[in-house]
Structure 1
Amino acid sequence: MTTDAHPGPASASAGTPIEIAFSPCPNDTFVFDAWAHGRVPGAPAPAVTFADIDITNGMAERGELDVLKVSYAVLPWVLDEYALLPCGGALGRGCGPLVLSKELGLDLTGRTVAVPSERSTAYLLFRLWAAEMVPGGVGEVVVMPFDEIMPAVRDGKVDAGLVIHEARFTYRNFGLHNLADMGRHWEDTTGLPIPLGAIIAKRSLGEETLRHLADTIRSSVRLAWDHPEVSRPYVQEHAQEMDPAVADQHIGLYVNEFTADLGEDGYAAIRGLLTRAAAEGLVPPLGPDALAFPFSS
């Protein structure tokens, strides 16, 4: 698997740069633009790596880098070393992963399904959904970068694909059908928002630095909201050939009030997902203070 990983701009702040990895998707570049370009006063200098979510999930499990954008589904494996930051991630309503196929109404029993990461929240939501809705079980699960999934379904390399990000807006361009909306199923059965991507930071950085990082990310989000035109070049530079209108839709859906602060509903959604998944034996159980920020008391 390949990754588009390379250093990004750093601020002029003194000190050792904070090593951070996030995706080149519009929501992440929008959120981190101000910090990456030194426009957050007093923020630590970031050394940015761009990487697919499957790569950053693996980085977290290996304890690489200081700050990472990861799937909420990977938290049970990494929270001993990393703390969940209360801001900067992707969580919301009407923004869940979709299962797509060329054939309308395809029965997924025994079918090959492409997914963006075996430790992704999308795949965890899919497994919870399939346990209820595909009692015969799906067939082979193939992991591939999220931007390769729709072409693979279109070209018949796999029977169906679990997609995230802007695929929600573009799948019809590939002649594909929406078989099921994982987020809608989650919201209908729980009433909670959908937890997708988390921002985590190493506990070894210390409480003061963790709080500073959270404040920095919140400031970066608010600056992006206040001056969206300033972030546009950074967003488009890393969005490859994405239509700017689609990039704007992407940002509008995935950057919301939960990005600025998880709040009670956000934490309830995260714990609800991981508690349910643990009950199904899909992830290790969380400790009672595992999500506490910055440290459990």
Structure 2
Amino acid sequence: MKIAYSPCPNDTFVFHAWAHGLVPGAPQLDVMYADINITNGLAARGEGPEVLKISYAALPWVLSEYALLPCGGALGRGCGPLVLSKEAADPASLAGKRVAVPSDRSTAYLLFRLWAAQNVPGGVGEIVIMPFHEIMPAVRDGKIDAGLVIHEARFTYPTYGLTLLTDLGNWWEADTGLPIPLGAIIARRSLDLQAISGWIRQSVEYAWAHPEASKEYVMAHAQEMDPEVAKAHIELYVNEFTANLGEDGYAAIEALLGRAAKEGLVPAFDMSLLRL
């Protein structure tokens, strides 16, 4: 079975057991390691493998062909994207300004636009899509007015002389009480979705029961990441929602995509398609 997921520690930790033949009865995996922006595109074009990880923000474009699986993905708390500016400013100051984002089909982008709809009178100006690593230097150098950043930028932005305009994770959790939907696992609707979900759940449970077993595999794909950082990454993103989305997980997804559809940020879609 062909599958695509990222080389990030949370994905390699989750799928280690299945990828190494440690899940009884599961078919052998042919793994493609790819950034989520690549898998988003593959799924949207119908060119993806049978199973793949995409951003929850990309789901509305692919639900006719792919089903959301109730396990294996990433939802989290305390891990939201940040909006940064060169100088301390009020959110209203972004009205009509240029803001750089790493993708327009990401949860980070949807959160930013939903936050801006509430907090930036008249809305922001131009949205500029640029590679993630170029955003903070561009804000520092005055090429853009603000930037939307994710992941390790939470810890490094002060070194660029930037200030925090808002933490979108804190805003979302305060506004909804729900976790942030990040990465979804999807599979082609023509497959045995219950069986695939079961194999993924077994892989997750094996990873938790044997945390040392996946260490070599995780670090081989972690792009020179410090082992303690990789461990912290796993602990943050592999949680109760990875084993089972549950009602809170589905509520978070429905809240994010329902609000985004209402704002015209994603296509309108049948919300019932989110559940098997």
Q: Same fold (TM over 0.5)?
A: yes
Secondary structure at 1:100 match in 2: strand
Go from structure 1 to structure 2 and tell me whether the alpha carbon gap of 1:174 and 1:212 turns closer, same or farther (over 3 Å shift). farther
Secondary structure class of the residue paired with 1:229: coil
**Correspondence list, 1:203-222, <5 A:** 203-205=189-191, 209-222=192-205
Distance in 1, Cα, partners of 2:4 & 2:208? 22
Secondary structure of 2:18's aligned partner = helix
* Count of matched residue pairs: 273
| Runs of 5+ consecutive residues of structure 2 not aligned to the other structure | none
Q: Which residue of 2 aligns with 1:63?
A: 46
Offset at 1:147? 5.0
Identity of aligned residues (%): 72
How far did 1:243 drift?
Answer: 2.1
Q: Report which structure shows greater RCO (CA 8 Å, sep ≥6).
A: 2
Q: TM-score, normalised by structure 2?
A: 0.89
SS of 1:228's equivalent?
A: coil
Deviations 1:68-87 (A, max 9, x none): 11111111111100000000
- The alignment partner of 2:274 has SS state of coil
| Rounded Cα–Cα distance in structure 1 between residues aligned with 2:111 and 2:15 | 26
Residue 62 of structure 1, CA deviation: 0.8
Cα root mean square deviation, aligned = 2.1
Query: 1:263 and 1:179, CA in 2 relative to 1: closer, same or farther beyond 3 A?
Result: same
Q: Structure 1 56/271 Cα, relative in aligned 2: closer, same or farther at 3 Å?
A: same
2:81 is equivalent to residue 97 of structure 1: yes
Amino acid corresponding to residue 197 of structure 2 in structure 1: A
Q: Which residue is equivalent to 2:149?
A: 163
Quick one: which amino acid aligns to residue 51 of structure 2?
V
Residue of structure 1 equivalent to 2:56: 72
Shift of 1:265: 0.8
**1:39 partnered with 2:22:** yes
CA contact (8 A) 2:254 2:271 kept: no
Letter in structure 1 aligned against 2:15: F
TM-score, normalising length: structure 1: 0.83
Q: Does 2:40 align with 1:54? A: no
Alignment partner for residue 237 of structure 1, among 197, 204, 220?
Answer: 220
User: Quick one: which of 126, 130, 141 aligns to 1:140?
Assistant: 126
1:131 aligned residue (117, 129, 146): 117
1:25 aligns with 2:11: no
Distance 1:249 1:173, change over 3 A: farther
How far does residue 130 in structure 1 lie from its aligned partner after superposition?
A: 1.2
- CA separation in 2, counterparts of 1:252 and 1:292? 26
The answer as to 2:264 corresponding to 1:281 is yes
**Measured at CA, do residues 291 and 224 of structure 1 come closer, stay the same or move farther in structure 2, by a change above 3 Å?**
same
Identify if the C-alpha distance between structure 1 residues 274 and 186 changes in structure 2 by more than 3 Å, giving closer, same or farther. same
Secondary structure at the aligned position of 1:197 is classed as strand
Q: CA deviation at 1:124?
A: 0.7
Secondary structure of 2:148 counterpart:
strand
Mapped to 2, the partners of 1:229 and 1:275 lie a distance apart of: 39
